[in-house]
Structure 1
């Protein structure tokens, strides 16, 4: 029973408090994401095109704040910075309830997304401060499972508002979502006040101050972030390309798009922890990214075969595609967890995590246009194969980046041919 409890729950103290905060926050995200576009168009009365433009502009503006806010987390402590940005997110979300014009919407969206990027950086620094090596990767994997559970619960509740399709329901959900940011800040009260702050033991030699933009001079971390950004295009394959592909390019029933999402969510909850084992080792994490690229290539090749086939064959191929795509997602996340922490200096996790989230955010910004051109355009079969090749190349590049490009930390040596990769022992 204790082994099952240790598998299901993070350790007491800081890890469990962070998981609680994460769960409350992601339930709010699950409420918001399925209903926000409907609120802005049906209730606020904004044209769809303007909503899209506003969110794109807000997303681009927010990217500029990732590294600076991460630097503030390094300087003043991630606990304090996260509490502040959660308060800002609460205020910005509540302001959406009174938005009735495009300028007001744009300002609220920019403030909210900028604070959201800052919260990603501060949370990353808190995870880094919660442990070392395997503990960090394990906690980050837990939090990804929590994200799926929270998003699923929130989306289920949001279905009630979508079914009612009334202004009062949509407004109520925005208000509840605003309250979840306060709820997510409550567990932070019990965290150590100085968590994530640099402490010097008596007689310890003080490290030189970290430049605000040190990460931009860390070639290995920049390249790692770029490669992970390419691999993270798979997130938009699930949310953007798959529904349109199933509906417009295959004979499968439209509900298969939802089935694929369910398969993905169940696999992430069941297997993310297992997939992340050993990712605290640089070589193992790089190998996971390489494996992810191959799995994503296979997924793209399978989905390319679904066009023009019978319903039964298409459904079967789409299920295989769902499994392969999710394997690629699991290994991408696991490798990214390890490398984003391992390759960063201990005194600058806020700045480095902010930069890492910037890479992921950039890939999500360009993904819809890229996927529309490649996979939903004139020659979709070729486009899917080209996308798969892009994933495979990115995955194959990761070990080269990790072992051959110099960075702030000493470059890890790859294992000798034929020698097993030594991994730290873990106890549960």
Structure 2
């Protein structure tokens, strides 16, 4: 699978994930565009209550990223994503019975936890089923089709927003619930993957291995800090346009559309510049450098005449979008290629934890520094991005240099039985022994291995070779 065309990617797994991402994005886009209005106008909550509940849910989601990763390793990322998609369907439907602040907090917290777990599970699936550099290209493709779905969903929300009635908002809620259910059915069509021998027997599966991987976590946190461009675009820029310039507020929609269209059309192509760790390191540095001129252009737009200001804002969005595409592609590559393949869920959860830094410092940077200070705030934000980008390139080199030590297999106790689930889905197990090997016997559709002697043989006509329980 070397290429993923925008509409018809090669590979059955890629097509299933692509369709599932588009369906979920379309449903969620309509829900996101109308949920705040539904909660305030139909349920009767005030804006401060909606903001408080959303903040509480976001904080809890940060704390659950690692646990979601461990569950993905323990029960299988594909299975976890199916369960969480069903949970999302039920919780979206539960919005229809929200009638006060308490019930809103319960629903949005549960829904946000499920959404965070689904993100981690989806990335774990990519790490499990897609080889090497193709992971970044697939991730870019999924980002593009998700954005397309979100845009379509947001446009469809114009109808219930125009009608402004409770039945119209409930129709959006239940359509979104149905989209989540369809996502679960689509993900269920993905092939089941084996629970690796390493996961069952290695101490790596039972310790917070990813969290103790300091170089990897440093890269994750720096990627999260660099991702503050999201808040610059979604928070700082709209406030800047309406507060500091004479540009009509409606022009904000044009700027956002420009960002979305460029993201859909260019994300896959740009991702090819970050398909290895070294390439990702360079892409992160270049993306950070592009954020600075974008911030500088936004800063000088305040002193420009109306037409020129509008052109400058559009040019700044283009520069910021290209920087976004480069840095996001770099982050995906680093999250996959620097991880320990024995516990992909743990590492994807740990990276999500690091990326969540953006949700904390991003709004503060946008409102306190940029909008609060003015043009100087934009310039300061641009300089910070360059500094963070340079630090990320150094941290990436450090992480790459330490991979041999971090990813060294850990010893496991002898005679530890290991169950490899879903053996029927894996016709060939090509596991290279480094320590003692294992003998396997077939039992009830599974393989049970114990560390004794090396042997290979036939299982329902398929050849297998089992090595040490410590190896994957």
Could you say which residue in structure 1 is the equivalent of 2:117?
Answer: 118
Task: Report the aligned-residue RMSD.
Answer: 2.1
Structure 1 unmatched ranges of 5 or more: 413-428
Structure 1 stretches of at least 4 aligned residues deviating more than 3 Å after TM superposition: 3-8, 205-209, 405-408
- Relative to structure 1, is the Cα distance of residues 408 and 206 closer, same or farther in structure 2, using a 3 angstrom cutoff? farther
What is the alpha-carbon distance in structure 2 between the residues aligned to residue 296 and residue 278 of structure 1? 17
What is the alpha-carbon distance in structure 2 between the residues aligned to residue 174 and residue 137 of structure 1? 32
1:260 to 245, 255, 260: 255
Task: Quote how far apart the aligned CAs of 1:344 are.
Answer: 0.6
TM-score normalised per structure 1: 0.90
Please say if residues 90 and 182 of structure 1, whose CA atoms lie closer than 8 Å, have aligned partners that are also in contact.
yes
What is the alpha-carbon distance in structure 1 between the residues aligned to residue 306 and residue 298 of structure 2? 14
Higher-Rg structure is 2
What is the alpha-carbon distance in structure 2 between the residues aligned to residue 67 and residue 250 of structure 1? 43
Task: Quote how far apart the aligned CAs of 1:206 are.
Answer: 7.1
1:390 aligns with 2:389: no
Could you say which residue in structure 2 is the equivalent of 1:372?
Answer: 367
1:301 aligns with 2:296: yes
Could you say which residue in structure 2 is the equivalent of 1:347?
Answer: 342
Please say if residues 344 and 408 of structure 1, whose CA atoms lie closer than 8 Å, have aligned partners that are also in contact.
no
Task: Quote how far apart the aligned CAs of 1:360 are.
Answer: 2.6
Structure 1 residues 178-219: Cα deviation after superposition (integer angstroms, max 9, x where no partner): 111101111122211226x3268xxxx975543442111111
1:358 to 348, 353, 369: 353
Structure 1 residues 222-276: Cα deviation after superposition (integer angstroms, max 9, x where no partner): 1111111112111122222221211111121222211111111111111111111
Could you say which residue in structure 2 is the equivalent of 1:58?
Answer: 57
1:311 aligns with 2:306: yes
Could you say which residue in structure 1 is the equivalent of 2:432?
Answer: none
Task: Quote how far apart the aligned CAs of 1:408 are.
Answer: 6.6
- Which SS does the other structure have where 2:309 is aligned? helix
- Which SS does the other structure have where 1:122 is aligned? helix
What is the alpha-carbon distance in structure 2 between the residues aligned to residue 131 and residue 5 of structure 1? 12
What is the alpha-carbon distance in structure 2 between the residues aligned to residue 124 and residue 180 of structure 1? 20
Please say if residues 218 and 408 of structure 1, whose CA atoms lie closer than 8 Å, have aligned partners that are also in contact.
no
Which runs of structure 2 are paired with 1:202-217 in the superposition (5 Å)? 208-217=203-212
Structure 1 residues 373-415: Cα deviation after superposition (integer angstroms, max 9, x where no partner): 11111x2111111111111111111221011247872389xxx
What is the alpha-carbon distance in structure 2 between the residues aligned to residue 102 and residue 12 of structure 1? 45
What is the alpha-carbon distance in structure 1 between the residues aligned to residue 209 and residue 239 of structure 2? 41
1:325 aligns with 2:323: no
Please say if residues 137 and 279 of structure 1, whose CA atoms lie closer than 8 Å, have aligned partners that are also in contact.
yes
User: How many residues matched?
Assistant: 404
What is the alpha-carbon distance in structure 2 between the residues aligned to residue 411 and residue 330 of structure 1? 31
Please say if residues 403 and 411 of structure 1, whose CA atoms lie closer than 8 Å, have aligned partners that are also in contact.
no
- Which SS does the other structure have where 1:65 is aligned? helix
Could you say which residue in structure 1 is the equivalent of 2:101?
Answer: 102
Could you say which residue in structure 2 is the equivalent of 1:275?
Answer: 270
Structure 1 residues 31-53: Cα deviation after superposition (integer angstroms, max 9, x where no partner): 11111111111111111101101
2:196 to 178, 194, 198: 198
Task: Quote how far apart the aligned CAs of 1:308 are.
Answer: 3.1
Please say if residues 124 and 353 of structure 1, whose CA atoms lie closer than 8 Å, have aligned partners that are also in contact.
yes
What is the alpha-carbon distance in structure 2 between the residues aligned to residue 103 and residue 327 of structure 1? 41
Could you say which residue in structure 2 is the equivalent of 1:21?
Answer: 20
What is the alpha-carbon distance in structure 2 between the residues aligned to residue 179 and residue 8 of structure 1? 23
Could you say which residue in structure 1 is the equivalent of 2:165?
Answer: 166
- Which SS does the other structure have where 2:247 is aligned? coil
What is the alpha-carbon distance in structure 2 between the residues aligned to residue 386 and residue 4 of structure 1? 39
- Which SS does the other structure have where 2:131 is aligned? coil
Report 1 or 2 for greater relative contact order, CA contacts < 8 Å, sequence distance ≥ 6. Answer: 1
- Which SS does the other structure have where 2:403 is aligned? coil
Could you say which residue in structure 2 is the equivalent of 1:400?
Answer: 394
2:229 to 231, 234, 251: 234
1:35 aligns with 2:34: yes
- Which SS does the other structure have where 1:259 is aligned? helix
Task: Quote how far apart the aligned CAs of 1:280 are.
Answer: 2.6
- Which SS does the other structure have where 1:276 is aligned? helix
- Which SS does the other structure have where 1:193 is aligned? coil
Could you say which residue in structure 1 is the equivalent of 2:427?
Answer: none
- Which SS does the other structure have where 1:214 is aligned? coil
